[in-house]
Amino acid sequence: MPNPVTICRKVLFGDCDPEGIVYTPRFTYFALEAIHEALGEWLEGPGLRNLMRFGILPPARALTLEFLHPVTWDDELAIEVRVAELGESSITFSVVGRLPLNIDAFTATITQVCISPETKKPVPVPDGLRLALG
């Protein structure tokens, strides 16, 4: 598996509810944004575009989130992304969002499936992608 990639993200006012706490669905965006940035590192270019150059579509099959600590406006998150598992036709990413002082704020696991754009059916992880992520 490639080395983990850490993405830094500042929580914006628009990410929060009226109480100033990050609105729950935004964590999904944080995790997906970090995965796309990590893919950019691993695939040496725009992450999602390079992923699709392998001739696949990458819809999510599964997503889990666990909230561990409140995150508020202006917090700085360090979001670490790892490839957790390479399946026959899927890639599972592990994501941990940390606040300063190494406080885990959230964890996520996202599994994306390699789908043929023509048939919309699962296909094996392309060899070049498997090589880059394996």
Higher per-residue confidence, 52 vs 107? 107
Extents of the domains making up the chain: 5-127
Q: Residues 92-105: pLDDT tens digits?
A: 999 999 999 999 99
Q: Residues 38-82: pLDDT tens digits?
A: 999 999 988 888 888 999 999 999 999 999 999 999 999 999 999
Q: Which of 122, 24, 110, 31 shows the shortest CA–CA distance to 67?
A: 24
Model pLDDT, residue 15? 97
Extended beta strands in the chain, E state: 5-10, 60-67, 76-86, 90-99, 103-113
Residue 130 banded pLDDT, cuts 50, 70, 90: very high
CATH superfamily of domain region 5-127: Hotdog Thioesterase (3.10.129.10)
C-alpha 85/C-alpha 93 separation (Å) is 7
C-alpha 127/C-alpha 134 separation (Å) is 10
Mean pLDDT of the chain: 95
Model pLDDT, residue 52? 85
Model pLDDT, residue 81? 98
Cβ(73)–Cβ(13) below 8 Å:
yes
Model pLDDT, residue 1? 85
